[in-house]
Structure 1
Amino acid sequence: MKQIIECVPNFSEGRDKNILDAIAKEIESTDGVKLLDVDPGAATNRTVFTIAGTPNEVSEAAFKAIRKASELIDMRKHKGEHPRMGATDICPFIPIANVSLEECIELAKQLGKRVGDELGIPVYLYEYAATSPQRKNLADIRKGEYEGLEEKMNDKNWKPDFGSSEFNAKSGVTVIGVRDFLIAYNVNLNTTDKKLANEIAFRIREQGRAKKDADGKIMKDENGETIKIPGTLKSVKAVGWVIEEYNRAQVSINLTNYHIASVHTAFEECVKEATSLGLRVTGSEIVGLIPKEAMLMAGKFYLARQGKSVGVPEKQLIEIAIQSLGLNDVSKFDPQKKIIEYVLAENKKSLNNLSVKDFADELSTDSPAPGGGSASALAGSLAAALSAMVANLTIGKKGYEQHFEELKKVSEECQKLKDELLSLVDEDTEAFNKVMDAFRLPKKTDDEKAKQQFAVEEATKYAALVPFKTMEKSFEVLKYVAIVAEKGNVNSISDAGVACLLAHSCCEGAAMNVLINVKSLSESKNKEVKKFSAKMKKNVEKLLGESRAMKQKIVRKVNGKIS
């Protein structure tokens, strides 16, 4: 599955459009990256760029933007209301899809080293990438701002993580790190009373409100700090306000970690508190973009609360979330424009978007791709879909109560496998095309021949790894087929049987595609390539044997129940 990260570099320039355009041009020149937003501020003299895409490409775009900023922005002349330390003040990475915090941390370190080494700009790491507790909080690093940097950097406790400790007067320093995705979320109320909206905000936000004594005076501790009554939700910031355009009050919320406090958790908490105040929540709105995962989490929450299976297609989960959260209450929620993964989706032709007839027609032409690899992946996705169907037809049916929880998990996992195998339909064809592209490289000189041979072998390795991934996914499907064949609705046993045959056919077909690719690699002069070929053959043989054994076992069970 495609990895996606976001990067939100903040540049110390908010007034000169030419400079901002030059930085934007650097970002947009990078393949695999999309510039989602540019938000300049004249008073702060600062601009926030939002970019997203695949990890290495986003890192490259960030470096090019930092380099351009260092060329065009002179911190010795900078004035603005916002605290700042450098031409590129901060540059956080945010994991979005199929990428871990650890991977983003490594990316931040790589970028930090590159900025320090190649651009001569000192770099501090913060948040999840911080190298010490005192560097985790951005405010602590930024204390003293640009004007205090030269003195601060002479302190051994504030030696930069990368780059020289020598003060760079023109560019200052850059703070690079990793943080969670921030979801800006507003909950709508059937009132225009700001005080009531604020009351809900005080009750739910993490910092809560100031504690007061019997006379209404704010209470202090022995250090003179205000004593707080904490709110009910961690990782939540909130305030109440009135939006004239909507003629209603809202609880304006920042969810700083949606894995701790999700969108639906915040919504339900607002519903509870609003009800206690005699108010009604009429809906909510997402400001900016939201990760797909957050929407799927909400969809699953509301389906599960209804006692339904959450093993349904992604589109259905998102629609349930939209309806349940009332996301169309004050403005239209278009998933294609509001969910970050959909916004980033490439507009290339996808086999998955073809009708069944068109896909079959495409297979039948004299073009070598799509071919058996893509067809195998499609068979595997159909097997996963059938398995989810059998599980969902069993959940809620009398006489199968003891299997409901297990089958709910089966249906959910099979939906994931279905989508993963569908993505492999396209990836297999893309892998074949990469091999063809490599063969077309020039090979007139010895140097060109060597480069072409290397490119062909690398592309062929990839063309073998893709169908092997298909094999692995098909075997995972087969394990779930075994469960639905044994514990699923007996009226759907033939569907389980078909799922079994499709899953195993997927495995057999994908195996052939692995083997035909590694065959040519076995003749390579490169020892590592030959070793790769031999290893892949062994892996295929082992997995194929396991799939054949499981297929026979399931077919016997299915035939036994049918007869």
Structure 2
Amino acid sequence: MPTPLLECVVNVSEGRDPRVLGAFREAIESVPDCYLLHQDTGHGAHRTVFTFAGVPEAVFAAAEAVYAVADQYIDMQQHRGTHPRSGAVDVCPFIPISGVTEQDIRARTQVLAQRVAERFHLPVYLYASSAQSSPRQNLANIRRGEYEGLTEKLGDTEWQPDFGPAQPHPRLGITVVGVRPFLIAWNINLHPTATLAQARQVAGRLRGSGVAGRQGLFFGLKAIGWRIKEYGRCQISCNVVDPERVALAQVYFTATALARELGTSVTGSELIGLLPAGHLRAAARGFCWTTDYIEEMETAVMVLGLNELGPFNWRDRVLEEVLRAAARRGHPSR
């Protein structure tokens, strides 16, 4: 029986203050048997994704510590960013890696949700596999209206929180907690001359829900178009929620064709957080005439243009590689 291993990919509404980001890192790394694997910070999005993993007890303790830091430092009344958001700790998903199932973790997410609601007087919604009703399985439904629309949303009897008060916390907003399968967060870069309207058109064609009643091309893909000022360009921001069925290379080259139809082009892509080795290697199929692991990885990086916005070291972004490196280093507090 493998050692139980759980991952958390918490999204916080802070991407600009190094002091606050350092406090989040310190809180996560202070928990024994929990390893901070990656930090992905977006200045324009004003958002940071922290990926950490370890035994379930440690991961849940680190997640609660993240809420304590957010309570100390973040005020959503002052927050502005390009990424949709409803709270300081916007979403806190847990992903079983090995030796533990979604069913095992589901009850623990409810315990955490209740603890966070009581400790911080914070409305908490359960989503994904932890959701108590079908509409709440989809994060976009919960987030619709964002922070500014929370008072109206929580006034609707159908959108009462699963835990906590039926009114938004003035500084922290709400939070969303749940257990879900692995998700790949990934942005496709458009040429600097591309418009936001073009980015939104491509996103609408790609995502499974489509646009204006027209079904999209990839069931298992969520996508929106946005403009990131720090990059000076628009992106198609993608969540691959079913990576077993949605191949990155297929989405990338479809986006390339759609952009070309609109008179613009795709120039590369950007990975947010980590991804399993198999999903990156798959992007090399048809372009790499060997099964050599390293060559496949390097080919995949080239095919997807992952190094366009900056150096991309796949050893630092592949989940299995990062976990092995963390285990070799040991815990920083030891």
Are 1:237 and 2:255 counterparts?
Answer: no
Are 1:318 and 2:297 counterparts?
Answer: yes
Shift of 1:149: 5.9
Superposed counterparts of 1:121-520, under 5 Å: 121-138=122-139, 140-142=141-143, 157-163=158-164, 173-178=174-179, 180-186=182-188, 194=194, 201=202, 204-206=205-207, 227=212, 229-234=214-219, 235-237=221-223, 252=236, 254-257=238-241, 258-270=243-255, 284-291=268-275, 292-299=277-284, 301-302=285-286, 312=291, 314-322=293-301, 324-325=303-304, 332-346=311-325
Shift of 1:115: 1.8
Q: Which amino acid aligns with 1:37?
A: Q
Are 1:54 and 2:54 counterparts?
Answer: yes
Residue aligning to 1:407: none
Residue aligning to 1:499: none
SS of alignment partner, residue 121 of structure 1 = coil
2-side partners of 1:272 and 1:151: how far apart? Answer: 41
**Is the 1:51–1:58 Cα contact (8 Å) retained in structure 2?**
no
**Is the 2:202–2:258 Cα contact (8 Å) retained in structure 1?**
no
For normalisation by structure 2, the TM-score amounts to: 0.67
Larger radius of gyration: 1
SS of alignment partner, residue 36 of structure 2 = strand
Q: Which amino acid aligns with 2:35?
A: V
CA 1:237–1:24 in structure 2 vs 1: closer, same or farther (change >3 Å)? same
1-side partners of 2:161 and 2:80: how far apart? Answer: 25
Q: Which amino acid aligns with 1:232?
A: L
2-side partners of 1:59 and 1:317: how far apart? Answer: 35
SS of alignment partner, residue 78 of structure 1 = helix
Aligned length in residues: 317
In proportion to residue count, which structure has more strand? Answer: 2
**Is the 1:94–1:178 Cα contact (8 Å) retained in structure 2?**
yes
CA 1:66–1:240 in structure 2 vs 1: closer, same or farther (change >3 Å)? closer
2-side partners of 1:314 and 1:65: how far apart? Answer: 36
2-side partners of 1:40 and 1:274: how far apart? Answer: 24
2-side partners of 1:48 and 1:89: how far apart? Answer: 10
2-side partners of 1:166 and 1:198: how far apart? Answer: 35
For normalisation by structure 1, the TM-score amounts to: 0.44
CA 1:245–1:271 in structure 2 vs 1: closer, same or farther (change >3 Å)? closer
**Is the 2:39–2:51 Cα contact (8 Å) retained in structure 1?**
yes
**Is the 1:33–1:52 Cα contact (8 Å) retained in structure 2?**
yes
> Equivalent of 2:12, from 10, 13, 19?
10
**Is the 1:126–1:178 Cα contact (8 Å) retained in structure 2?**
yes
**Is the 2:37–2:322 Cα contact (8 Å) retained in structure 1?**
no
Q: Which amino acid aligns with 2:175?
A: T
Identity of aligned residues (%): 23
1-side partners of 2:165 and 2:265: how far apart? Answer: 57
**Is the 2:200–2:236 Cα contact (8 Å) retained in structure 1?**
no
Structure 2 stretches of 5 or more lacking a match? 330-334
**Is the 1:289–1:340 Cα contact (8 Å) retained in structure 2?**
no
SS of alignment partner, residue 345 of structure 1 = helix
Structure 1 stretches of 5 or more lacking a match? 211-226, 351-563
2-side partners of 1:62 and 1:142: how far apart? Answer: 20
In proportion to residue count, which structure has more helix? Answer: 1
2-side partners of 1:59 and 1:115: how far apart? Answer: 11
Greater RCO, 1 or 2 (C-alpha within 8 Å, sep 6+): 2
Shift of 1:242: 11
Deviates more, 1:233-242 or 1:263-272: 233-242
CA 1:187–1:137 in structure 2 vs 1: closer, same or farther (change >3 Å)? closer
Instruction: Show CA shifts across 1:345-378 (max 9, x none).
Output: 335559xxxxxxxxxxxxxxxxxxxxxxxxxxxx
**Is the 1:73–1:171 Cα contact (8 Å) retained in structure 2?**
no
2-side partners of 1:19 and 1:163: how far apart? Answer: 25
CA 1:288–1:68 in structure 2 vs 1: closer, same or farther (change >3 Å)? closer
**Is the 1:302–1:320 Cα contact (8 Å) retained in structure 2?**
no
Instruction: Show CA shifts across 1:255-313 (max 9, x none).
Output: 432333221211343466678899998x74443444123113334x438x97x8xxx56
1-side partners of 2:237 and 2:171: how far apart? Answer: 37
Shift of 1:339: 2.1
Deviates more, 1:144-153 or 1:110-119: 144-153
Shift of 1:322: 3.8
**Is the 1:296–1:321 Cα contact (8 Å) retained in structure 2?**
yes
**Is the 1:92–1:176 Cα contact (8 Å) retained in structure 2?**
yes
CA 1:275–1:176 in structure 2 vs 1: closer, same or farther (change >3 Å)? closer
CA 1:250–1:63 in structure 2 vs 1: closer, same or farther (change >3 Å)? closer
Instruction: Show CA shifts across 1:147-167 (max 9, x none).
Output: 776786576544432346587
**Is the 1:125–1:161 Cα contact (8 Å) retained in structure 2?**
yes
1-side partners of 2:153 and 2:203: how far apart? Answer: 37
2-side partners of 1:20 and 1:9: how far apart? Answer: 12
